[in-house]
């Protein structure tokens, strides 16, 4: 699992990275980063299973706590390219 900065985000996105907001839908709809899709932490396992295990995933939330938890969980399930966006 790698932590990336906002400055690095465009580089990862241009190479096919999938930007995932792991917050609940209400928070996502209030505000989210351009290009992000919503896969809430409580549903992500169902939603992500169709993606290849080597897909570049860029996870984020408000403070990084949920995204880090989700990242560790995805790694334990065999995902190999998990990144956590540090929005600060």
**What's the predicted TM-score (pTM) here?**
0.95
- Where are the strands (E) in the chain, listed by range? 2-5, 18-21, 37-38, 57-60, 82-86
Q: What is the pLDDT of residues 32-81, one digit of tens each?
A: 999 999 999 999 999 999 999 999 999 999 999 999 999 999 999 999 99
7 falls in which pLDDT band (50, 70, 90)? very high
For domain 2-86, the CATH architecture is 3-Layer(aba) Sandwich (3.40)
Tokens 């290849």 identify what position?
52
87 falls in which pLDDT band (50, 70, 90)? confident
Measure Cα distances from 48 to 37, 57, 73 in Å. Answer: 11, 10, 12
Please name every residue paired with 20 in a beta bridge, in sequence order, or none if there are none. Answer: 37, 59
β-strands 57-60, 2-5: how paired?
unpaired
Q: Residue 2 above 90 pLDDT?
A: yes
Q: What is the pLDDT of residues 38-52, one digit of tens each?
A: 999 999 999 999 999
């Amino acid at each position: 699992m790698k932590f990336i900065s906002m400055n690095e985000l465009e580089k990862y996105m241009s190479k096919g990275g999938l930007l995932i907001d792991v917050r609940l839908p209400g928070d996502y709809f209030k505000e989210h980063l351009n290009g992000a899709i919503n896969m809430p932490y409580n549903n992500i396992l169902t939603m992500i299973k169709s993606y290849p295990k080597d897909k570049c995933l860029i996870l984020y939330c408000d403070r990084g706590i949920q995204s880090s938890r989700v990242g560790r969980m995805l790694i334990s399930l065999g995902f190999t390219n998990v990144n956590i966006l540090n929005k600060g």
